[in-house]
Amino acid sequence: MRTFRTTVAAALIVSLTACGGATSGAGEDEPSAGAKGTVNLAVNPWVGYEANAAVIAYLLEKKMGYTVDKKELKEEIAWQGFETGEVDVIVENWGHPDLKKTYIEDKKVAVEVGPTGNEGIIGWYVPEWMTQQYPDITDYKSLNKYANLFKTSESKGKGQFLAGDPSFVTNDEALVTNLKLNYTVVYSGSEAAIIKAAQQATAQKKPLLFYFYEPQWLFAKEKYVRVKLPAYTEGCDKDLKKVACDYPDYKLDKIASKKFADTGGAAYQFVKNFTWTNDDQNLVSDYLTNQGMSADQAAEKWVNEHEATWKPWIPA
């Protein structure tokens, strides 16, 4: 989320412990689970990533014969695992040029594996009802005159800007300072907390200015409008302390350890082949969040209904 989400945007870790890695995909019959070794998946703390992990884990186990061990890891810790050998692949990376430079260019322990197919968008949002009542509120130049609407007990006499998980790497504090906005950045603590606040803002007509992102299932359920910040231009966010521009759009991608890329066999090829749309991810996220499904149940439902999408991911 970015400037990138650093614990965020999604790091799925796959650590293959099978001897020599896998060399072939599944045939028509499902293989016995664990026949080819263990894959350790690191799951970052937002539901879109959990959706990726659910489907990947399900297919690795049910269609390719691996055991999958999911681990809840912060994003930056996942990158550190490329060097320690604990991490094989991140499947939803939100930019992170700094981490790419460290682990791909400098230490040469990781490689880029290609896009996930998801388009990542980060921005500032307000509930749609606020744009109807205050038509100019989506222009950042108008935010100061509405700051009193957003005051809370935590915002120190200023308007509140609600951020997400403090482990996400964002530009919001710098934007508030550099755009001279009379706001205090307050961290909700998690994706779930910021979603709850957004839902309450709509249902109870409570003013809310908040950080959010796509892909995200909530946009299909409720209406939020993005605030227009100064347009992003290449390099405008290079110095994070001086950022005064909007977030760029992101082509979310996958990163693998060099060792996994060289020796991971069919498991690596499967992850490399994995690509789906924002609609796919949002559908599985909705199953997980709103329909009470477990990760396996959500993945199984999606897999049963989208064979044409996932079948080409599995190496022949």
**Confidence band (pLDDT; 50, 70, 90) for 19?**
very low
Shared fold status for 24-117+253-313 and 120-249: yes
Residue 229 corresponds to which amino acid?
Answer: L
pLDDT at 23: 34
pLDDT at 41: 76
**What's this model's pTM, rounded to 2 decimal places?**
0.80
Q: What average pLDDT does the structure give for the chain? A: 88
Read off the pLDDT of residues 104-121 as tens digits, 9 standing for 90 and up: 999 999 999 999 999 999
Domain boundaries, the chain: 24-117+253-313, 120-249
Q: What is the CATH number of domain 24-117+253-313?
A: 3.40.190.10
pLDDT for 15 beyond 70: no
Protein fold of 120-249: D-Maltodextrin-Binding Protein; domain 2 (3.40.190)
pLDDT at 260: 83
pLDDT for 72 beyond 60: yes
**Confidence band (pLDDT; 50, 70, 90) for 192?**
very high
Read off the pLDDT of residues 142-158 as tens digits, 9 standing for 90 and up: 999 999 999 999 999 99
pLDDT at 66: 86
Read off the pLDDT of residues 38-54 as tens digits, 9 standing for 90 and up: 777 778 888 998 999 99
**Confidence band (pLDDT; 50, 70, 90) for 18?**
very low
